[in-house]
Amino acid sequence: MTIDFGSMAKKFLIIVFLAAAVFSQYFYDGEKLKNPPLAFPEISAGMVRAFNLGLDSASAGFLWVNGVMSELPFLREGLDKYLNDLSIVNNLDPKFSFPYYWSLLVLPNPPKPQKFDEYRLNKIIEIGERGVKEADTDWRVSFYLAVSYHLYKNDYVSAAKYFDLAVRQPGIPDSIKIFAQNYAFVPRLRDKTRQIWEIVYKTAQDEETKNRALAYVTRFEELDFLEQAAKMYKEKYGKFPAKAEDMVSGKILKTIPPDPFDSQFRIDPGNGMVEVIK
């Protein structure tokens, strides 16, 4: 019988390695219990800059990945501690977009029994507003800020503005783009958001904003126009049209007006309300 000493040696070394690892961990844990780690003083962005040799972006990424991000969602050291640590990361690299949209995504969902209060909500909005102004272009910052305005502030006008900003950012997925683009045209939001776009159109200084505001105002007008035509169709035929094209074949309209965002219109045959679809 031949004994494979090489194989036995490998197995022996593995056993020794595992035993050493277990012993080391046991020793380390025991020492940690007897001698807890030192509590380091609070740091600031200025303190980090004094030692990081000008590597502000690298320092911000290191602090975020190795400490601040792990505080969410449970905030074991409290909301104010997280906000302070986040501000250090933001001050070191204001263009670092991930901390902004990660905070907007996770911070609004405190685990029970943690209370969701107005202070927390206002801080969430502050984070998002700063991200929109200072971070590198990223659709997620404005999109999640819009979601926060909608869900937690019931501010549909601000939500519509930031959804529209998200639509204009590169890299936004098509499905999310369609949702964001059509957000303001849910019937119960129309009157509120129509007013803001009319004001934006009248007061905008740059041509791009003015043109987009005009496009939104135009879509509102087209929705009103089509819904009025749908009522005329019902008066003539006793029912609402099944699709927008029926109003052309039914001699109510000569043509369906083109949507300024190249979407299509759909009519609810139950109530004649017009929706926007891709």
Query: How would you classify the pairing of strands 274-277 and 264-267?
Result: antiparallel
d(CA 105, CA 198): 30
pLDDT at 116: 57
Put simply, whether the predicted model's pTM sits higher than 0.75 gets the answer no
Comparing 27-36, 99-108, 155-164, 214-223, the range with the smallest average pLDDT is 27-36
d(CA 84, CA 210): 38
d(CA 78, CA 113): 14
Cβ atoms of residues 234 and 243 within 8 Å: no
* Domains of the chain: residue spans and CATH: 51-184 (1.25.40.10), 186-278 (no CATH)
**CA dihedral over 256, 260, 263, 265, signed as positive or negative:** negative
d(CA 247, CA 102): 47
pLDDT at 42: 67
Question: What are the pLDDT digits (tens) for 42-77?
Answer: 677 788 777 777 888 998 889 898 888 888 878 888
